[in-house]
Amino acid sequence: AQSVTQLDSQVPVFEEAPVELRCNYSSSVSVYLFWYVQYPNQGLQLLLKYLSGSTLVKGINGFEAEFNKSQTSFHLRKPSVHISDTAEYFCAVSDHDDYKLSFGAGTTVTVRA
Amino acid sequence: EAGVTQFPSHSVIEKGQTVTLRCDPISGHDNLYWYRRVMGKEIKFLLHFVKESKQDESGMPNNRFLAERTGGTYSTLKVQPAELEDSGVYFCASSQDSQSYGYTFGSGTRLTVV
């Protein structure tokens, strides 16, 4: 089973500042990587995913993530955040050809004016 | 296209009572998954249906949990009797193929056992 570590549980950030959420995973085999977001009182929404190809993945709402195989990382970034980006963000991993996702513990991002 | 729908959105029950959670997947999605997040911890896999068959229930915590998917459409997850440690958010997801990249999640059911 995969192990996923989100290094920051809480990230406070000012509006229009950049943000980076860190994610590391344990597997040495080929993996799929995901970032999900949960806005207050809503379900899990897929932000972006890495399946293969370019290691820089662009997602919705201006987010992007970079897959680094040697460091087994998949950090999420946004150059300028909005108040509406306040949410909990989850990194998730699965092995190729597996249907199960392993999630990190989540990072709560709070954007202040 | 309607998304994955979960009922109820919130449930508060007393220890020892029974609760049934329901999930309606996206029409045509043969694969249905249950996950849960207990307070402050990771979201964890519970089980996987393909149509009406349980493919993998390795994540079910104990025999107080019973999942069904009659007719391969909606699914129910019953907890009987509920314990305090069952409190958390229960997520359902569906996908067309048995692949992790095809998931659509529902909005979850927040279960509080008091």
The letter for the amino acid at A15 is E
Listed range (B44-53, B70-79, B99-108) with the worst mean pLDDT: B99-108
Intra-chain end-to-end CA distance of chain A, in Å:
40
pLDDT, tens only, B93-106: 999 988 888 899 99
Q: How far apart are CA A95 and CA B34, in angstroms?
A: 18
pLDDT, tens only, A7-32: 999 999 999 999 999 999 997 678 99
Mean pLDDT for the stretch of residues A51-72? 94
pLDDT of residue B95: 93
Nearest-CA residue of chain B relative to A46? B104
Mean pLDDT for the stretch of residues B78-90? 97
The dihedrals phi and psi of B31, each to the nearest 5 degrees, come to -100, 130
**Triad A65, A69, A75: Cα angle to 5°:** 25
Question: Nearest CB to B100: which of A4, A90, A98?
Answer: A98
Q: What region, left, alpha or beta, does residue B39 occupy, with left being phi > 0 and alpha being psi -120 to 50 degrees?
A: beta
Q: What percent of chain B has pLDDT over 90?
A: 87
Interface with chain A: mutation pick from B6, B31, B32, B43, highest number of A CBs within 10 Å: B43
The answer, yes or no, to whether residue B1 has pLDDT greater than 70, is no
Mean pLDDT for the stretch of residues A44-63? 94
**Contact residues on chain A for B6, CB-CB shorter than 8 A:** 43
Which two structure tokens, joined as six digits, stand for A1? 């089973």
Whether B106 contacts B4, CB under 8 Å: yes
Backbone CA torsion sign across A92, B49, A97, B1? negative
Q: How far apart are CA A23 and CA A93, in angstroms?
A: 10
